[in-house]
Structure 1
Amino acid sequence: MKFVIAPDSFKGSLTAKEVADSIAQGITKVFPGAECTLVPMADGGEGTVQSLVDATKGKLLTKKVVGPLKNKVTAKYGLLGNGKTAVIEMAEASGIGYIDEETQNPLKTTTYGTGELIIDALDKGVSKIILGIGGSATNDGGAGMAQAIGVKLLDSNDNELSFGGGELGKLHHIDISHVDKRLKHTEILIASDVVNPLIGSNGASAVFGPQKGATPDMVQILDSNLEHYAAIIKKELGKNLADFPGAGAAGGLGAGLLAFTNSKMSKGIDIVVEYSQLKEKARNADFVFTGEGGIDFQTKFGKTPYGVALATKEVTPDAPVIALAGNIGKRVNDLYQKDGIDAIFATVSGAKSLKQAFADGSKDIEQTAENIARLIAAMPKH
């Protein structure tokens, strides 16, 4: 019997690989001779680096870079098993985890460190970069990233702008003559499920700015500055990004990448399905297990469990897809579609604190997988 085990991480508790290991342990208690193919997954957000490194037998690299508050931070990124593809999470260099209520200020925070990771990956000889852009602390339109790769953002006196979204209103001219030439031949896949434009009521500043500490007055300044930034990009580079879907992701980093690199937007889960070779591994599977810390109706919109179901049903339509979750939320019936998830099981064993649920995560997942396997074993053979 062939089981494909393709979960996301249980955020705050277990990595995707640890979840997959726990599910496999539960299954093999009932089916000791089963073929268990482990495919750690992610959807472009937190855990994407680790999942793709695990799935491709790659390696993790670390680099000291400029953090969102201009201090040095140690960021990790992945080199996939083919040796030619890097996977970067911008949150490692420029993420919201580096700020708190006292230090948050999207007028000042920068994506410079993300650009430094891109350059370091080029130094390792990669020809493709997968860049997950969730969880940012920034609202600078990717200006810091651009400066790190060699773009000069100049004011009316030909002085380079300082860091932060608060500076973009001073932008007068963009000089791209010093951009690292290797980027012309490097494809960047932007892993993001955010479709917000750069500016306006649904833009980066209005929707995501308050999460990063922006007051209503700051939101107005940031949005105006990004509008000016987009106008200069359109005038000098011929790229119209103000209303481009996804340009507002990560405080406008999406726009910066589209403006200054050879990039294209992709759904995070689609990228991970491709690079983990999930479809090939799910071919002829008897059962597919997936999961995530929380599952609800929003899982249908680009989250790992539903993406695993779609990929599985494309190659093995009759394979049941079973999802495990620490928390089952609203309207999960929306996921029970012809090409969707077949069954969802909660893993938490009884009432307990969140801290205890995290501590028991591996054991509870293993027990739930074993129980499901026992049900499978008890089913009549047709």
Structure 2
Amino acid sequence: MKIVVAPDSFKGSLSSLKVALAIERGIKRAASEIDAEIEIIKIPMADGGEGTVEAIMCALGGRLVKTRVLDPLGREIDSFFGVLPDGTAVIEMAAASGLNLLKTEEKNPMITTTYGTGQLIRAALDEGCRKLIIGIGGSATNDGGVGMAQALGVKFLDSNDREIGFGGGELYKIERIDYSGLDARIKDTDFVVACDVKNVLCGPTGASAVYGPQKGATLEMVKVLDENLRHLATMIKRYLGKDVAEVPGSGAAGGLGAALLAFLDAKLRPGIEIVMELTQFPEVVKTAELIITGEGATDYQTMFGKVPLGIARVARKFGKPVVCISGSLNTGYEKLYAEGITALFSIVNRPMTLDEAMERAEELLEKISENVFRLYYLMREGDK
């Protein structure tokens, strides 16, 4: 029996590789006790957020490049990106500008910057990479990607011809954009952005309104940030001739999507599609009997292009059953049944705090995976 284990990470707890390994251990324990012959193929998945580099390199190999960048608050930190065997660079903005890099009390999208993400892009260009895959999930920022562009040589100038500072709170000061200093190598580079949201830049479904609060924005901040992004879009249209405000995905990562479109001529694609394409996931699914996926929390947002949805849609084409094992199942997860997921389970087996569930995630994953496989094998043998 061939089983494909293809989970996303459990954000803040386990990488997608560690999730896959825990599921594998649970299945193998059950299989050894019931004498089941199995083959497990692990394909760690990602949708552009934290863990994207690891997931892709786990499947394709390559080398990890370490570098120093500025974090969302402008502090120097150690960061990284991957270079695949064909020379493609894989970057996750979360490694430089991610929410995971800040303490709760440090969250403030008025001052956080994507400058470090721009430094990662520049470092990849220095490595000779001329195709970059950039995952933009998990951001701590709402600066419209201005910090990223600044790191690559673009100047955002105020009425006194001085460069503006970091953060979404500074964008209203922009009176002129000077992109004459933009890194010349960019025009010869192909940028593909792994983006799992389709939000536009501004308005009720825009970056500030939808994602600002989880980055530390108050209601008052959300209004200011939204107005500032609208001003940025106006300046981009005036100086670059590009209207990015209503492009789906322009609001991703606090507007980083808009800047990548405007300054790098990037192509935005669903992150899960990129990862499945690179790992040749459909070819693996063809010959599998069971697919197991999962993520930290499965709910209505999973329907917006997250890993379990992408896995389910591919598996459904080949008539393969899919089991989703997640940290928690929340409002709206039931919609996934119609998309091809056969059954969904939470690892939580009794009342416990979120902290406890995260600390015990590997153990709980093993236990539920063992039970899922026992049940599946029983039903499979019963149908013979």
Q: Same fold (TM over 0.5)?
A: yes
Q: Show the counterpart of 2:374.
A: 374
Q: May I ask how many residue pairs the two structures share in their alignment?
A: 378
Q: Show the counterpart of 1:7.
A: 7
State the alpha-carbon separation in 1 of the partners of residues 332 and 111 from structure 2.
40
Task: Kindly indicate whether the alpha-carbon contact (under 8 Å) linking 1:309 and 1:321 is maintained by their aligned counterparts in 2.
Answer: yes
Shift of 1:239: 0.3
Extract unaligned runs of 5+ from structure 1.
Answer: none
Which of 33, 43, 46 is the equivalent residue of 1:42?
Answer: 46
Shift of 1:68: 1.9
Q: 1:164 to 1:365 in 2, by over 3 A?
A: closer
Shift of 1:269: 1.4
Task: Kindly indicate whether the alpha-carbon contact (under 8 Å) linking 2:49 and 2:138 is maintained by their aligned counterparts in 1.
Answer: yes
Provide the secondary structure at the position in 1 that maps to 2:348: coil
Q: Show the counterpart of 1:211.
A: 214
**Aligned letter for 1:362?**
E
Task: Kindly indicate whether the alpha-carbon contact (under 8 Å) linking 1:328 and 1:346 is maintained by their aligned counterparts in 2.
Answer: yes
Shift of 1:169: 2.4
State the alpha-carbon separation in 2 of the partners of residues 9 and 142 from structure 1.
25
Q: Show the counterpart of 1:246.
A: 249
State the alpha-carbon separation in 2 of the partners of residues 243 and 331 from structure 1.
27
Give the alignment of 1:1-382 within 5 angstroms. Answer: 1-29=1-29, 30=31, 33-80=37-84, 82-100=85-103, 102-314=105-317, 316-317=318-319, 319-337=320-338, 339-378=339-378, 379-380=381-382, 382=384
Higher deviation after alignment, 200-209 or 141-150 = 200-209
State the alpha-carbon separation in 2 of the partners of residues 218 and 333 from structure 1.
34
Shift of 1:84: 1.8
1:199-246 CA-partner distances (Å, limit 9, x unpaired):
233322333333333344443433333222211211221100122222
Provide the secondary structure at the position in 2 that maps to 1:21: helix
State the alpha-carbon separation in 1 of the partners of residues 375 and 282 from structure 2.
26
Higher deviation after alignment, 25-34 or 2-11 = 25-34
Provide the secondary structure at the position in 2 that maps to 1:224: helix
Q: 1:228 to 1:372 in 2, by over 3 A?
A: closer
The RMSD of aligned alpha carbons is 2.3
Task: Kindly indicate whether the alpha-carbon contact (under 8 Å) linking 1:186 and 1:262 is maintained by their aligned counterparts in 2.
Answer: no
Higher deviation after alignment, 298-307 or 213-222 = 213-222
Task: Kindly indicate whether the alpha-carbon contact (under 8 Å) linking 1:83 and 1:126 is maintained by their aligned counterparts in 2.
Answer: no
State the alpha-carbon separation in 2 of the partners of residues 327 and 215 from structure 1.
27
Q: 1:79 to 1:34 in 2, by over 3 A?
A: same
State the alpha-carbon separation in 2 of the partners of residues 165 and 297 from structure 1.
28
TM-score (norm 2): 0.90
TM-score (norm 1): 0.90
Provide the secondary structure at the position in 1 that maps to 2:294: strand
Instruction: State the identity as a percent.
Output: 50
Q: 1:217 to 1:333 in 2, by over 3 A?
A: closer
